[in-house]
Amino acid sequence: MISTNNVYRAAVGLLWALVLWHSWCCRGLFVDGSAFVVNIVRNEWFFDFYPPRLFAMIVAQIPVMTAVRLGATDLHWLAVLLSLGLFGLPTLIYQFALHRAKQDPVLMAVVLAAIGVVFMTTSFFIVGEYNSAYAIAILTAVHLATIRELDTRDALGLLLIGVLAIRTYEAMIYLGPLLAAMVAWTLWRQKARPLVPTLIYAATALCFLGGMWVAVQSVVHPWSESHLNETYDTAKNFWQNMQFDLALGSALIVIAWGLLKPGDLAGPRPYFWAAIPIAILALSPLLGLTDTLVRPLAKSQYVARSAAGLVIVGMVIFIWTYRSGAAERLKALSALSSPVVARRFLALACLMVLAELPSDLFLTHTWVAYLDALRTTVRTHHGVVAFEDTPLSRPPHILLVENWALSSQSLAVRTKPGDGVIAPPRGFSDWLPFPADDPPNLGRYFWREW
């Protein structure tokens, strides 16, 4: 029989092992991350350019800013510490959710499914604050679903999460009111409402509504109209992320089966069919041996972030319904009260997370190779380097290239003032943080090889 305590320990150990590995590989430099490092060391202060996401930005940058204030000048270490903060924040929030859910295998299965279906399939772009916003939504839902009585310490913990949610990501435009409504529902169903924790939970609901207001303002008055339009345009391309598609497909098979034939959830058939996309997911890195673009792709994780938010909404509603009186009236949810069904759900969620590991390791390996090629090119050239003359312009490295970020990435890995700066491809006319032939002076900050 699968133990929730053992699953909790294994999941937390695995998640933090991945955080350390991804940080060591400097995955935080992917795309926008390199611009973060450059701006942090130029100003020796937090890179806080976007107020609607300010709180998540600052918290994630605490490790790198601490090192900067202590006098660290090695860009290599600073890239590691930036990655640690970016990966560590959502991982810590998911850990709290797992800890809160570990007495209920169904809730633990939902948290693991959020990690496997959403976090591990969209977090290669870890600099995106949506990673933390989605974790906040899952933690809040699990927290509220497991309240037996109102407690001041628990209320204060959730209030901190609510404050963080005020300025984390535009997805709070729909997550904020949903979570605020769940807080209100939790207060309403309590038989006893001590004054202090009740007021704290009410303040938390207001924080979530505040997050919604900030998100609305960020859409009505966007920092970049073109970026907002691009977000809308690319949202429908979530299908390009095969990791997301396969993990979500597996979950949808069991959900659909449970709605149509809830009695079958106690048997192996739904899980056998759900295991097929999971098996394909686990084997998907083998597609990297071919020339086809049907493979795990780092950049495709970014385009799935909007659809991932809708999946999180579905999970929050599921948790809410599961813990409400409606669960007893719905055959599909009442079936989850069976220990056998609950354990099967948990086992399937565990398989989802494990099936993501091969593609995660594959993509991290491709990033390490890309970063090596980038560093070698920058170190062995002087002045402006034409992108077309570098190995980055050819497969497989080109699959990780973001045109506007090439100059920032070059500057982040320079070992001396005369090292080269890679220019964007010829004909590229979109926004650039600085011209390749006039990079900012980072002073004493250089990349040091270990």
Nearest to 133 by CA among 227, 53, 66: 53
pLDDT band at 228 (very low <50, low <70, confident <90, very high): confident
pLDDT digits (tens, 9 = 90+) for 402-420: 999 999 999 999 999 989 9
The two structure tokens encoding residue 349: 């969620």
Strand partners for 281: none
Paired sense of beta strands 384-385 and 421-422, if any: parallel
Residue 329: the pLDDT is: 73
pLDDT digits (tens, 9 = 90+) for 341-355: 999 999 999 999 999
Q: How many CA atoms lie within 13 A of 172 on its CB side?
A: 36
Residue 327: the pLDDT is: 66
pLDDT band at 1 (very low <50, low <70, confident <90, very high): low
The letter for the amino acid at 111 is V
Residue 331: the pLDDT is: 78
The two structure tokens encoding residue 424: 């964007």
Task: Label residue 128 exposed, middle or buried (CB < 10 Å: 0-12, 13-18, 19+).
Answer: buried
pLDDT digits (tens, 9 = 90+) for 242-294: 999 999 999 999 999 999 999 899 999 999 999 999 999 999 999 988 888 88
The domain segmentation of the chain, as residue ranges, is 4-367
What angle (nearest 5°) sits at the alpha carbon of residue 112, between those of residues 87 and 331?
150
Q: Could you tell me how far CA 257 lies from the centroid of its own chain?
A: 28
Using the predicted structure, report yes or no on whether residue 325 has a pLDDT greater than 80. Answer: no
Residue 274: the pLDDT is: 96
The Cα 109–Cα 14 span in angstroms is 16
Whether residue 165 contacts residue 214, with contact meaning beta carbons closer than 8 Å, is answered with: no
Lowest mean pLDDT among 20-24, 70-74, 190-194: 190-194
Give the chain's mean pLDDT. Answer: 94
> According to the 3-state scheme, what is the secondary structure of the chain?
CCCHHHHHHHHHHHHHHHHHHHHHCCHHHCCHHHHHHHHHHHHCCCCCCCHHHHHHHHHHCHHHHHHHHCCCCEHHHHHHHHHHHHHHHHHHHHHHHHHHHCCCHHHHHHHHHHHHHHHHHHCCCCCCCHHHHHHHHHHHHHHHHCCCCCCHHHHHHHHHHHHHHHCCCCCHHHHHHHHHHHHHHHHHHCCCCCHHHHHHHHHHHHHHHHHHHHHHHHHHCCCCHHHHHHHHHHHHHHHHCHHHHHHHHHHHHHHHHHHHCHHHHHCCHHHHHHHHHHHHHHHHHHHHHCCCCCCCCCCHHHHCHHHHHHHHHHHHHHHHHHCCHHHHCCHHHHHHHCHHHHHHHHHHHHHHHHHHHHHHHHHHHHHHHHHHHHHHHHHCCECEECHHHCHHHCCCHHHHCCHHHHHHHHHHCCCCCCECEECCCCCCCCCCCCCCCCCCCCCCCECCCC
Using the predicted structure, report yes or no on whether residue 224 has a pLDDT greater than 90. Answer: no
52: preceding bond cis by omega (within 30 degrees):
no
Whether residue 296 contacts residue 284, with contact meaning beta carbons closer than 8 Å, is answered with: yes
Nearest to 150 by CA among 100, 86, 201, 91: 201
